[in-house]
Amino acid sequence: MIEAVNLVRRYGPHTAVDHVNFKIPKGEIIGFLGPNGAGKSTTMNILAGYLSATSGTVAVDGLDILDYPIEAKKKIGYLPENPPLYPEMTVKDYLAFAGELKKVKHSSSREHINRIMEITGLGNMPKRLIKNLSKGYRQRVGLAQALIGDPEVLILDEPTSGLDPKQILEIRELIISLGKEHTVILSSHILPEISAVCRRVLIINQGRIAADDTTENLAKRLLGGNRILLRLDGTQESAEKALQTAPFIHRLGFQESPEAGTIDVVAEAQEDADIRRDLFQCLASADVPILMMRSMDMSLEEIFLNLTTHENSSQEHSR
């Protein structure tokens, strides 16, 4: 649906985006992450057609955004971090104005705008002045303008910025709903929101793509296998003795347990082996009861910090 090939954007001697490549198929909600100054907003502006690339191409549904700017931009709805709202206008007048700018057919614009206001939860406030709306509802108005014209691609830059927990939940549910009919590129510094909404993430760091995969695959790649957390009714000595013959275990770690008389053990598997049955059999044979067993996945925050911090450190050492 949208494809970036060798995107480069320079500001004088500074390279903000450095040969970025990715492809996003139709109907996918993808998280686009990066530390401040990594080139994330610049890339999103290029994708939306607000900024030209120094070199490289962006195609939307096969249309090059520079060769066919009007046709390509009709397929894109863009919500910047600070929505371009006019506070003295009413909600409906503003959306009608956005419809005129996007050249939505006049005959269907009234019905179209009413439908979008219902979708975004603005159906009961068409005559409200935007300046009198809460931060959450102003975000909804910004999202509504991005939906004018039924674009196939939505680019949302920090759509939950400044919202309270209830408003964040409402916008999250709205984005999930929109993902059923639109390709969505979602940028946010609130990483639990990305985890809740997106299965695949793109992480950009220092202008380059540092990762492009599902969070599950990234976690396995960084961990080098699976990690299992066990709580055992025993001591570290009894656990080590019971597990010393368990196959496929790469590493054992021990943690203090909150329960008296127990020990927490982190067992890391070699490569992608499933070691749960082996763990059970070894511990059962040694008469060490298992009180808890669960997989330990890296959080998106851990993945993000691991990739961006490690890459930054590597580049610093190479200088």
80: tokens are 């910047």
- Residues 100-140 have pLDDT tens digits of 988 887 656 888 999 999 988 899 999 999 999 988 899 89
Q: Can you give the pLDDT at residue 164?
A: 83
Domains 2-220 and 224-288 share a fold: no
> Which has more pLDDT, 155 or 251?
155
CATH fold of 224-288 reads Alpha-Beta Plaits (3.30.70)
Distance CA 266, CA 3 (A): 41
CATH fold of 2-220 reads Rossmann fold (3.40.50)
The pTM for the full model equals: 0.76
| Alpha helices for the chain (secondary structure H) | 40-48, 69-73, 91-101, 106-119, 135-147, 165-178, 191-197, 215-223, 236-243, 276-285, 300-318
- Residues 201-230 have pLDDT tens digits of 999 999 999 989 887 778 766 655 577 889
Neighbours of 295 (CB within 10 A): 10
Residue 319 — pLDDT band, cuts 50, 70, 90?
very low
Instruction: For the chain, give the percent of residues with pLDDT over 70.
Output: 92
Per-domain boundaries in the chain? 2-220, 224-288
